[in-house]
A and B are shown apart, each in its own frame.
Chain A
Amino acid sequence: MNPSVDALRATFGGSTAIGRALESCGDTIVYVGREALLDVMAWLRDTPGQTYDYLVDVTAVEYRDRERPLEVMYGLRSLARRADLRVKVELDPQGDLTVDSVVPLWRGADWLEREAFDMFGITFRGHPDLRRILMWETYAEGYPLRKDFPLRGRFSRAEQVRQALAAHPEAHYSLEELSIADAYAELPGDMKERLRRGERGTLPDSE
């Protein structure tokens, strides 16, 4: 068992922040409460002695058993100490799938969280640009990696071909791109509304 677990319990213990910890096939997994996630992650990254400076992966797992919660998995690694830790947050698969984004801590989480949003429908609060990354932005069938999503999709093949051919191959939907004026006319209504309200994308700037 990774000693970080005891250190976590010592620091955050007594609250609902740190749940159970277990070992599977030699890897340590610790469950963290949804509300405490950002604090726990910042502590893990910045505390000397922990220094999990490398984010390995962000993804989600939904089980076939409908009683089990949907887990958002964060793989953390300390390059200097050569230690791995897996942090999980449990969410209700039928409920609200929202969790804080760790992009302020590790920029590598940017696209990984977008993919989790695309495949599972998990909203990451505070993500600079949360939109679909693997499917097209107006994909209407749902979130593919959910267990209630059938393998071949919800629509018939002809309907899928029709929707695919109707998509505009040069669609610019990123808020960053929209701030470049000539894409404005092609936007769907809600994007124009967001722009009007002042939402803009962010440039990748230095920390």
Chain B
Amino acid sequence: MTRETISAAGPHNPGRRNFLSAVGATVASLQTAACIRKPYEKILPYAERPEDLVPGEARHYATVWNVGGAVQGLLVRSTDGRPTKVDGNPNHPMTGGSTIWAQASVLSLYDPERSKEPVREGEGVSPDEAVGFLKKLPDEIGDGSGLAVVVPELPSPTADRLWEDIRAKYPKAELYRFDGAGTDHARAGAAMVGIEGAAWTTDGTPTVIAAFDADPIGTEGDTTAFTKAFAAGRDPNRKPAEANRLYVVEPHVSITGSNADHRMAVKGSEVGDFLAALAHHLKKGGLNVPTLDAPKDKLDSKFVKALAKDLLSRKRGSTIVMVGERQPAHVHALGFVLNEALGNFGKTLRFTKQGPTEVGALSDLVRRMNDGSVKQLVVMGSNPVYEAPADLNFGELFQKVPLTIHLGLYRDETGRLATWHIPQSHYLESWGDLRAREGTTAIQQPLVAPLYPSLSPIEFMARLTGAESKGYDLVRATHQGAISGGFDKRWQRWLHDGVVDVGQAPSFVPSVKTDGLAAAYKFRAERAQGLELAFVRDNAVLDGRFGNSPWLQELPDPITKIAWDNAAVVSPNTAEKIGVPNNLEQSSVRDTVMVDVSVGGETVRLPVWVQPGTAEDVVVLSLGYGRKHGGKFAKSGFDVNSLRTAESPYIRSGAKVTPTRKGYAVACMQPEASMHDRPIVRDATRGDFTDEPNFVEKFEVMDEDHVASLLWDEPEYTAEHQWALTIDLNSCVGCGSCTVACQAENNIPWVGKEDALKGREMHWIRIDRYFEPKHSDQVEVRYQPMACVQCETAPCENVCPVGATVHGPEGLNNMAYNRCIGTRYCSNNCPYKVRRFNFFHYTVRNDADYGMGIAMQRNPDVTVRYRGVMEKCTYCVQRINKARIHAKVNGDGIIPDGTVKTACQEACPADCITFGNIRDPDSKVSHTREDPRNYAVLSELNLRPRTTYLAKLTNPNPDLAEG
């Protein structure tokens, strides 16, 4: 066009004036063309619209999934057929809110690096070819004497039924369980005391919770249900005897540990000794437990004595002793014995009969692989080549098996070595059923047809028997017999509610055998010297299965606040011994020291990170990072599996740590840990709160008369709805579900490690964590979710030169993205630092990383922001608007209390967020704002934030009071 216009202006005498006028005309016409004519767009209506479908209106469907056996009922939002958001299903007994993994699972559906085609010996083949292979497979398997099947934790009635079919067809086949988030040690411990064929769950209702290296709030068990009850048990209105108290004994600071009333940092190998010491004191208190060896120093521990006394003082059956998966089986066995003695069986620890019992462990399989008796090895939905402890040498043995078949979402480390890799359907694409440990079954219904040719686990199992059944028929066949008549109607009800109302797994109260315990529980007098390694499941990527989720990679670890990486975490004292500086004091995230962690001839080099609260002489290593074939995001961090052994997969002594070079950049999103004596998070003990209910006022740094003057006119908010939000710091456990939920709801991009290092993360709601960085093994962590607090006298608004951020009549500080010119004055003037700026076109970068997938996930009700635009929390204004329109069209325009839930509120397993209208004196949020614990952060600035906080209360044991 430019050339045409210029030549039109006169080719014969292209004088300066002509040239300039031609350029001017060209620019003007180009601008006219580019800016004014709206883009040419098509409307593509359905040829035949499905019944009840309203274009553009979201619908919700109930489904269910599981992580390592922890079943969660879910409600998935589908927008025009695309799943866009996952939340907990309130009908399901094991769900309150949702985990970060459930929140992020909607993104993994669209992951462009998912396995898209079957692969035979490294070559992609057509789905038909794979189908043909599976058809012929039963002939090859024969009687199954060479068949070994590795299954993940899959508590599915249909899967159980299909196992029976597989066993019937191949009587000699062997079944093994491997799941990086599984409960092998707990199961083995249960077997030691005679509990088999059972699943068990602890809700959070006990009044004394003693967690021995257990992380029921973070990475182990039915976390959301536990957290919900745990948070409810800390309600300040409870009587002192009913309020819970959490004791934690652990080597690393877990999420559970960070919420403890009393926490003791000890080596992982000593946790069992402390439990034995506890058993000793409980026996002295009159409980029927066997006598066990416990070293003297553990017996004398003030902590253990106080814990024993506290346990004995409570009502029988109202406490719980929890042992974490990182502990060996005999510690679990003792845990069961203690719970039985404390009367907790059937009360706080509930058992249901379930599952096939004859399932071997991975080490049994390796033994068979070693002697060559495995001819066909099927690995379903797990990744042992990456995750199995290195000394099993699984990868090498795997390749020696004549025929290996891998079913997986990704062609991961195991998939690459397998003879055949078959793509697995995502849970949002599959029919299935899952039974919670508590006993309730739920139907897994797909939200979309499989995006790629793939098989769901149960479909794959049916193929092993030679059947080509569809998942839908398999699941229906399982449940058809459960009721007589009217099945279809019931089935519809089950799908709608998300729970099956029949066929509960029967609950029972097992008895325990204690005879073998003393022998297994021998006190080992000699301890290996040197440093002890503690391998922990990562708070974000767990065992690595979620490694390719950029949302989870960018979610900072709740404690260390590191994103995109794992590190060798040590206490300040241990750091000094090793000879590395305390990065918390220097806060130089770009200059972290790399260390060589070596044990048993293996060495891994990774950055070292200092975290107070870590036990002395312990190096904490997060699993799940540094994957070779997990996808481009899963590559980040460092693989530490090579340092693990099968005998003790989570604890290893005798390690050496040598500092090498400086200069590794660790993307720590909050290097600052101290509040510097400012009353940001306010807390008190329950006792002090009873004596002085208005204790939060004592923290104010300026008296009210000083604060109350404004330079400008009083803002008036007269609309019928005045929105406000309160966050109860007493309930918040710091898990991060709100952050991921907000990201999914509000189309928030990820920025990648480099930009995260520059502090350019985009999370609208972050969780600030505070502790005193000077302490070494003792640490008291405080969490504070922080998003835009919607100040009534917002300082950001005064400085915006273009009026892109202005107040609405309902008290919201609105963002008009299209007006924003990116001066960032607002962010500079925001005392809470909650405004986020698109330094680059992160959205387009995400598109490039994720292909069309991320576009499919995006919420069409929220604007996708451009480069150079400021953004922040809007209290999910799209949800408010939707509710308002509904109220206006169908009634008097008043939105009833509880109708609008913000994304963070919906996701929160601890119910710590309350949102509503403060013009309505009966709304829940009005009540929470009248709570004596209610306070505003930075109240001295007179910003009158609409988000306020309820102070935290701790419940320390008076016997352990300091001094």
Q: Do A and B come from one complex?
A: no
Q: Which residues of A contact B (CB under 8 A)?
A: none
Q: Which residues of B contact A (CB under 8 A)?
A: none
